[in-house]
Amino acid sequence: STTEKPVLLNDIASAEAFVSGAEVAVIGFFQDPRSAEAEQFRLAAAQIPEVPFGLSSSAAVLSHYGASTDTVALFRRVDNDRRDLVMSNREVDAKKLTRFVRMNELRLVTEYNPVTAIGVMQSALEFNLLLITDKMSPKHPERMRKFRAAAELYKGKILFILLDSNLKSNERVLSYFQLKKSQLPALAVFHTPDDEHDVLTVDEISIERLQDFCNRFLQ
């Protein structure tokens, strides 16, 4: 992409369009767009090409979002949540900012790993649906297509998570749900406040089957 990054947001309408146009969007609110903090923000933006970064120095935009100056806000559509990081005191550099985004960038389908685990645990959504599967399987792209389509139907209700069974760090999750690799792929739905959960081993995934599994658990 040759688009200038970050995008300059000079008014409330353009800022709102920017936030609503992406699954995850990041805005840096800086009084001085040439400050040292804003420069670190630009460096972080360059390191995360797939996440849109916007920058605003407009008093109206800052007021609209209730943001203090030198603050970075991450907006995510999956649970309609916002996370703020204050960049004052020069303590927050591009590296810390990049980690903040990586930790909190929950999407319609979030791949679970040690970094995203933090954002998953802090999500406002109390229901999680895990697809535990081998990402190297030739059937993986088709499974993901159906999983994503189902995720659209439960936006704001259930957090959809992909868990790659090949990752050693995910073996703990398999043992928690008492699953062996020979039983995969499997679906696991989880209610975070009380650890209530249900597991379904599946040969094939269909949107109807996903809906049936989710609806039964929600009821």
How many residues would you count in the chain?
219
Place of tokens 């990402």: 135
End-to-end CA distance of the chain: 45
Tell me if domain 7-104 and domain 109-218 are identical in fold: yes
For residue 104, give the amino acid letter: N
Question: Which of 135, 144, 131, 123 lies closest to 202 in space, CA to CA?
Answer: 131
Asked whether the predicted pLDDT for residue 2 surpasses 90, the reply is no
Q: Cis before residue 185, ω within 30 degrees of 0? A: yes
- pLDDT tens digit string along 167-206? 998 999 999 999 999 999 999 999 999 999 999 999 889 9
**pTM as predicted:** 0.83
Domain ranges across the chain? 7-104, 109-218
- pLDDT tens digit string along 117-152? 888 988 989 999 999 999 999 999 999 999 999 999
Choosing among 3.30.530.20, 3.40.30.10, 3.40.50.720, 3.90.650.10, the CATH entry for 7-104 is 3.40.30.10
SS3 113: coil
Lowest average pLDDT, out of 6-10, 50-54, 165-169, goes to 165-169
| CATH number for region 109-218 | 3.40.30.10
The pLDDT confidence band at residue 1, using thresholds 50, 70 and 90, is: very low
Question: Which of 50, 115, 108 lies closest to 77 in space, CA to CA?
Answer: 108
Residue 113 CB coordination number (10 Å) = 15
